[in-house]
Structure 1
Amino acid sequence: MKVIRNCRLISRININGYTLLHQVADMKYYPGDKAGPCFQLQEELKWLKRVRKIIPTHYVMHRNNAGNTADEFFEEQHAELLERAQKWIKDTSQSCSAVSVLVASLVYSAAYHPPGDIENERNTVASKLFTVMDVTALACSLTSFVTFLSILSSPFEYGDFRRSRPRKLAVGFSLLFISVITT
């Protein structure tokens, strides 16, 4: 019985001409953003993709009473969220890239002025550990800077927020975190 109800729900069109895909695109069914607009947009794009897989293929091009396909309706409904996500990810990337450059400059200067007496302590375990941690911090901070710079220099379209931007942001955060820890 449950399968029959689901099939009936999938194939229904309401009085506004909405298919299930149009219903998913409607913003009035979504709660406010919880983890930031970038991740909210990512979740909604994933949800739209999941529903697209289960509906009949000809419903993807179905137009509602206003003349919009579900994708056009989604873009219309989520325009404000896209703007907020773009602003949020730009601000976050700029702030994190500034921190990563600061960490890189600190560890770079520490590489030329290591603690202790260099002549007597060159081959000790502490000296080798300091060198490894310094190189790790420098590499991770510079890589996180490049990651955040790639976010800032790329376009911000709907498709980018499904996987690319949130993944790059997570990689940049992780590398920045590792660089701060190893500093």
Structure 2
Amino acid sequence: MHAQALQLLRFICSEIAKLDGKRVRDLIGSPLEAAATMGNVEVVEEILLSFPNALSLVNENKHGVFQIAIANRRVDVFNLIYQITTPHHLLLAQRDASYNTALHLVARLVGGTTDQASLHLRSCAPGAALQMQRELQWFKVVEKLSRPQDQEQRNIFGKTPAMIFTESHENLAKEGEQWMKDRAHSGIIIATLIATIVFTSAITVPGGTNSENGKPIFSERTGFVAFAVADALALLMSASSMLMFLGILTARYAVQDFLSSLPKRLIIALITLFLSIIFMMMAFTSVLYLVFGEEKTWVLGLVSSLANIPVLVFAVLQFKPIFDISYSTYGPAIFGKRGDRIIV
């Protein structure tokens, strides 16, 4: 069905191409604008391949196809710019009725909760902090493709792109700050509890100490070495997690921090917290082995199996947030050439 729709589109374009120039512009203008607004990259690509001059078409707001894609955050449509040999800054230099460049458009946060572009942004980047990160990624890539002087260009209201970005993203930045701090508050409490538990376990070693030399009674057993290593690692990981969460709570929360600094801290904090839980459970299992040994293996096996439950619960609850943040920060860039066909 999809292939048939594309064939029909190509046939329609070939028929329209037989008409005179004015008639062609009238027929393809609205479909091109609608496709760019909705993010239908295949329709936009076919129209541009059939009618290269469509790049110069603008709507009533004097927005070209890439300005429309930027305003509606349609990354697939915007990536078509990499399949065009025309210098990119020329495609983004078009000014609209308010004298806005592409940088001004990308600096403006998309509409409210009922706006389709806003809903698209929220679905692509769950969480206010990740939405802020995605907005910064958009701004950076358009800034890179635009002319250097466009960064200081003012629109009809006398505002530069940086001024518009700061003003329009003020509330989102506050939401992102609260989003990060809520997770940091919860995480630092858990990390502190784990650090307290494992530190206490290190002082009051299982089995007690020898009254004559002060050495732990179980020090010669293999299980005690496993306990000591796991307990030390749990303490180190929980302390590291505490420091990273503290770094999030005391951050300055400048707009640029949402691009990489804050997400990196949160990733490290969550991973080290997860590792501290794993090592804490390993230390707990080692203590059980020292106490029961081979005498009551069923007790050791049962409790050791149940000790995996906290690890699994944390993994299930936190896997998606960690994956989303890691993918958004370190994953493949969403911008770049996606097709081999040269449009013009």
- One fold, TM greater than 0.5? yes
Write the mapping of 1:110-121 to structure 2, written as runs, cut at 5 A.
110-116=201-207, 120-121=217-218
Query: 2:89 touches 2:145 (CA, 8 Å); kept in 1?
Result: no
Aligned-residue offset at 1:77: 1.1
Query: 1:9 touches 1:20 (CA, 8 Å); kept in 2?
Result: no
Q: Does 1:32 align with 2:140?
A: no
The one of 97, 100, 104 aligned to 1:18: 100
CA separation in 2, counterparts of 1:5 and 1:132?
A: 59
What number of residue pairs does the alignment pair up? 183
Query: 2:89 touches 2:147 (CA, 8 Å); kept in 1?
Result: no
Write the mapping of 1:6-155 to structure 2, written as runs, cut at 5 A.
6-28=88-110, 29-30=117-118, 31-32=121-122, 34-116=125-207, 120-155=217-252
Query: 1:141 touches 1:176 (CA, 8 Å); kept in 2?
Result: yes
Q: Deviations over 1:95-124 (max 9, x none)?
A: 111110001011112223344576553122
Aligned-residue offset at 1:7: 4.7
2:92 maps to amino acid: I
- Cα 1:5–1:53 change in 2 (3 A) is closer
Q: Secondary structure at the match of 1:123?
A: coil
Structure 1 stretches lacking a partner, 5+ long: none
Greater shift in the superposed pair: 164-173 or 117-126 = 117-126
CA separation in 2, counterparts of 1:73 and 1:79?
A: 10
Aligned-residue offset at 1:127: 0.9
Aligned-residue offset at 1:5: 8.1
Percent identical = 29
Query: 1:42 touches 1:161 (CA, 8 Å); kept in 2?
Result: yes
Structure 2 stretches lacking a partner, 5+ long: 1-51, 53-83, 111-116, 210-215, 281-344
Q: Which residue of 2 aligns with 1:4?
A: 86
Q: Deviations over 1:114-160 (max 9, x none)?
A: 44576553122211111101000001101111111122122111011
Higher relative contact order (CA 8 A, sep 6+): 1
TM-score calculated relative to the size of structure 2:
0.50
Greater shift in the superposed pair: 46-55 or 109-118 = 109-118
Aligned-residue offset at 1:6: 4.4
Asked which structure has the greater CA Rg, the reply is 2
Q: Secondary structure at the match of 1:12?
A: coil
Q: Secondary structure at the match of 1:121?
A: coil
TM-score calculated relative to the size of structure 1:
0.91
2:122 maps to amino acid: G
C-alpha RMSD of matched pairs (Å): 1.9
CA separation in 2, counterparts of 1:114 and 1:18?
A: 69
CA separation in 2, counterparts of 1:133 and 1:64?
A: 60
CA separation in 2, counterparts of 1:93 and 1:71?
A: 29
2:104 maps to amino acid: H
Q: Deviations over 1:71-116 (max 9, x none)?
A: 1111111111001011111111111111100010111122233445
1:153 maps to amino acid: T
Q: Does 1:172 align with 2:263?
A: no
